[in-house]
Structure 1
């Protein structure tokens, strides 16, 4: 009997040493192997397995929702860029102080000499009161030089009439569709001109009413439809018409630049800024709407944080399932300790178990979210729900960074959720079953 006990102790000691050496070499692989056996055990499906599957399902749904919502924000951002690109120039030059600035031929020639500049459109923009037959409203008059048509920014946005500013020495206006509806304008009808009134700076003691405002008539030539905010407020007119009506003389409110094909926008922008100095703001398309894009990105960030918080709350089930698993596997943990397992190995097993549940749900969720976005892009599952919407269906655009940040947040959540149960599991190493 004594010899038998000695042999058993020698066998136990040798097994302990061998296991200890193997776990030192393959700690991570062994952790995932045991964790995978716990999760995919086919012998029985107890309450803990069900909780683990429910946790994986919650993570999958939250991940898919996050991917879809972030993709919708990306699609909306791209939609806004496409709208603003159709209306706004590639580069816009404005005065940093004041509403307008003087423009001369040498000044324009200096800008034209910069490599990459193809066209310079002079702009005078201000509010005016317009009247058509019995209807009237306040609009934004945008006087543009003749080469505005050559920029080809609104060619595809014309929905009625002929795109023109002048023809046979006759001035024509390009009006927004919202303005057309408000004033009941019939483009091409030369019998009724559009009356444009501009209120002058009123001086104290001025009694002559005719000197309080200027007035000019112009024929509506065409109608554009880009976006509601533009369609309901803007009217394009020839530059000399606006110059006479608003009495701007050589002053301009902005210059709009079109670049040559293949020119580098950032490079041309930097050269323009260096040439013009600090008295002018040289803005690309994104900078012209910097506040809007900043707000959109902030909303996207808050949505990401909110869904990450929901994901964290949903992952609490992982904490409970791992805690119960640690209690259920007390005997297995003690056996592993008796074979030479370390606290690090036990912790890694339960961290790996949490990773299988969380990252498994994340992978399924990313696949599901990506599939929903793909279906929306190609088949339009959900429409905007408005006949006057710019697009028929909600725009979506998947970005790799969204998937990456979602995965990073899940890894952090998994480590936080799984760490406490892993620590609890190491407390069951004192019970001996030999």
Structure 2
């Protein structure tokens, strides 16, 4: 029989004074609130990061391959399609699919405004589901000819709706205006994309650029998940033509990824403070429980129990409080995350946060590690107040309440 565990269980089931009960409930509440906030914070953090990365990836791919040149404008340098290389890459274990695009800068003019844009030509190798993911009005099916899909931000700026018409001027051909029809409206919530890109048929954009059918602007590669981005980039770089260059989505959108790294640092500081508060509260709780039972400590010492056995009794007492706090905290966190993921109770301003509601990502491995890490840390910390037991004299302790 484990003597300290047996006594700790009996203590837990006895009627304590109202003060020690209150302190115990405060300890349980502190642990519950702390672990709940930590789990919710991780779920929201991963939700933000995954939502933003998904939006970026959905629009621009994980990797982009383009022609090496000194051209730093929005108009791409043409590159020759390599069908043999494309077949090889599509069979690569890291690659989900490959797309070819053509870009051309221009100016869209409406009845009540104009906007500088980049026309991105997409083809049949871009899955329809990928386009439809961000469509909020009209069709995501790209028609041949002079049809475009523009963002909600541009549609509001140009005061145009689905099936409306705009005049498009390509910067390389300013004297040849073209009438285009709005076929659909998309919204990613990312200002860097929404204020700039307009989707059109690739063959048409190729023609406007003066490209041949086998000339494109860029390749976009979508990786299978989970695959390490840097490892995949290094492997695929070895297959490239010497005149091509490969860029990752981190290199293409450094500001967004720097912002997400800043979020990581803030969350680490925030969670560290929560754990420190939870540890100190549990130490205080255990200290009160020891002070309440000084006569019992003296009696156990007088009966021959070692100081380490008595310390273990109170350690188990603190561990029971920790487990109850963890259980309640996990239930609260799961409930909140489920409600937010299902009903979007907390809205956000997409202008500042890139999405309409607080996102939730269920990463069960993170939840397991948070619980195990909290258990390990707090279990070590609660040994601190039990060392006070070594200083208790049995005779003085027995007569403590007198």
1:153 pairs with 2:126? no
* CA shift in 2, pair 1:305/1:431, >3 Å: farther
**Which has the greater radius of gyration?**
1
1:421 aligned residue: 385
Task: Give the number of aligned pairs.
Answer: 384
1:174 paired residue number: 149
Q: CA deviation at 1:294?
A: 6.5
User: Kindly tell me: are residues 119 and 65 of structure 1, through their superposed partners in 2, closer, same or farther at Cα, counting changes over 3 Å?
Assistant: closer
Q: Residues 75-131 of structure 1, C-alpha deviation per residue, up to 9 Å, x if partnerless?
A: 3334334434542346532457755555224x3433234452897543233543322
Answering whether residue 169 of structure 2 is matched by residue 196 of structure 1, we say yes
Distance in 1 (alpha carbons) for counterparts of 2:305 and 2:153:
75
1:222 aligns to 2:199 (yes or no): no
Which residue number corresponds to residue 356 of structure 1? 320
- Is 1:52–1:317's contact at 8 Å kept on the other side of the alignment? no
Residue aligning to 1:370: 334
- For residues 284 and 344 of structure 1, what CA distance do their matches in structure 2 show? 57
**How far does the alpha carbon of each residue in 1:4-51 deviate from its partner, in whole angstroms, 9 at most, with x for none?**
xxxxxxxxxxxxxxxxxxxxxx5xx32222233333322x42422321
CA contact (8 A) 2:58 2:130 kept: yes
What TM-score comes out, normalization by structure 2 length? 0.77
**1:62 offset after TM fit, Å?**
1.9
In structure 2, what is the Cα distance between the partners aligned to 1:193 and 1:319? 69
Cα deviation, residue 327, structure 1: 3.2
Aligned counterparts of 1:335 and 1:423: Cα–Cα separation in 2: 17
Provide the residue aligned with 2:160 in structure 1: 185
Root-mean-square deviation (CA, aligned residues, Å) is 4.0
Give how far 1:265 is off: 10
Q: Distance in 2 between matches of 1:154 and 1:115?
A: 20
Are the equivalent residues in 1 in contact too, given 2:121–2:204 (CA < 8 A)? yes
Structure-to-structure mapping, 1:265-276, within 5 angstroms: 272-276=236-240
Asked if 2 retains the 8 angstrom alpha-carbon contact of 1:51 and 1:321, the reply is: yes
Q: 1:130 aligns with which of 108, 113, 124?
A: 108
Is 1:57 the equivalent of 2:29? yes
Whether 1:116 and 2:79 are equivalent positions in the alignment is no
TM-score, structure 1 as length reference: 0.72
Change (3 A) 1:287 1:32: farther
- Which of these residues, 182, 185, 200, is aligned with residue 237 of structure 1? 200
Deviations 1:172-202 (A, max 9, x none): 222222222211235435xx5422241x6xx
Could you tell me how far apart the structure 2 residues matched to 1:227 and 1:182 are? 16
Superposed displacement of residue 56, structure 1: 1.0
Whole-angstrom CA distance in 2 between matches of 1:214 and 1:272: 42
Cα contact 2:149–2:182 (8 A) shared by 1: yes
1:276 partner SS? coil
Q: CA deviation at 1:363?
A: 1.7
In 2, Cα distance between equivalents of 1:395 and 1:51: 36
Q: 1:398 aligns with which of 359, 362, 382?
A: 362
Structure 1 residue 256: Cα displacement? 2.5
Q: Using the TM superposition, give the Cα deviation of residue 423 of structure 1 relative to its aligned residue in structure 2, in angstroms.
A: 0.8
Structure-2 residue corresponding to 1:19: none
Describe the shift of the 1:123–1:381 C-alpha distance in structure 2 as closer, same or farther (beyond 3 A).
closer
CA distance in structure 2 between the aligned counterparts of 1:131 and 1:401, rounded to whole angstroms? 51
